[in-house]
Amino acid sequence: MTESGDRVSLVCPSCSPDAETVHEVLRPGGQATVRCIDCEHTHKTAIPETETAEVTIVVSQAGESFTTEMTVSAEDGIETGEEFVVDTDDALMQVRVTGIELGPEHRVEDAVLASVDTLWTRAVDNVAVDVTLHPKDGDADNTRSVRVNVPGDMEFAVGDTVEFGDEEFTIEGLQIRDDAPEYRHEKLDHAGDMAFAKDLKRVYGRDESLTAWSAW
């Protein structure tokens, strides 16, 4: 149901009689009072109610997952790889769709939300990135793995030397996730190649950490 303060798309008789603009609802009701954001014109009009649907959303984050429910516009479409905000009891989370389930063992790449049973998603606002580090001398026996927690929109670029606490390494390769938008290759290893943390399956780097070298 529309409430005061909501924003809706409507035709404005003053500035856009042939197209819709964003309006703010001043007083809801059968003939709602609304104000055009573009020209500030106030008028009364009926606001069409949008059909809604309840969708189950499974959110995966750092190897754990939880389930929540969300009311959505039934007519909207959704596709794998798309991102949206989930309002949970604890916080707002940016997530990416990794799977769309219409029913048991029936998954598709895109669908109208009215037909969706479950959306499988992965949190992308804050992510854990796995890093494989090898020593400067190339001794594979001393390769080790670490995990860094970073904002999803943090950039990792081949050739950059980065620090996370006691860890320091030079990035030599970036492995891209299957659910990421299209990159040049699934593995990036040319100087300057860049990817966002939320799109990374693994980072490969040359260990520059003093703590690591002192252990050897």
The pLDDT tens digits for 105-120 are 899 999 999 999 999 9
Check residue 177 and report its DSSP letter: P
The phi and psi torsions of 210 (rounded to 5 degrees) equal -65, -35
Asked whether the whole model's pTM tops 0.75, one would answer no
Domains 52-124 and 127-215 share a fold: no
- Amino acid type, 20: E
Q: What is the pLDDT of residues 167-208, one digit of tens each?
A: 999 999 999 998 888 888 889 999 999 999 999 999 999 999
Find out whether 86 and 70 touch, Cβ atoms under 8 Å. yes
As a three-state string, the secondary structure of 159-176 is CCEEEECCEEEEEEEEEE
**Measured distance CA(138)–CA(153) in Å, rounded:** 31
Instruction: Tell me if residue 211 falls in helix, strand or coil.
Output: helix
Query: How far is the CA of 109 from the CAs of 106, 131, 179, 214, in angstroms?
Result: 11, 30, 11, 49
Report domain extents, the chain.
7-45, 52-124, 127-215
Domain 127-215 in CATH 3.90.1460: no
**What is the per-residue pLDDT for 216?**
41
Q: Determine the CATH number of domain 52-124.
A: 2.40.240
Strand partners, 70: 55
Would you place residue 71 in the very low, low, confident or very high pLDDT band (cuts 50, 70, 90)?
Answer: confident
Region of poorest pLDDT, from 62-66, 67-71, 160-164, 204-208:
62-66
Reading the block at residue 174, the tokens are 């970036």
Burial, 34: exposed, middle or buried (Cβ in 10 Å; 0-12, 13-18, 19+)? buried
State the pLDDT at residue 87.
84
Which range has the top average pLDDT, 46-55, 74-83, 114-123?
A: 114-123
H or E element that contains 214? helix 210-215
Inform me whether the pLDDT recorded for 214 exceeds 50.
Answer: no
Q: Are 173 and 156 in contact (CB under 8 A)?
A: no
Q: Which of 36-40, 45-49, 59-63, 85-89 has the highest mean pLDDT?
A: 36-40
What tens digit of pLDDT does each residue of 131-152 get?
999 987 766 678 999 999 999 9
Lookup result for tokens 């603009």: 21
Beta bridge partners of 26: none
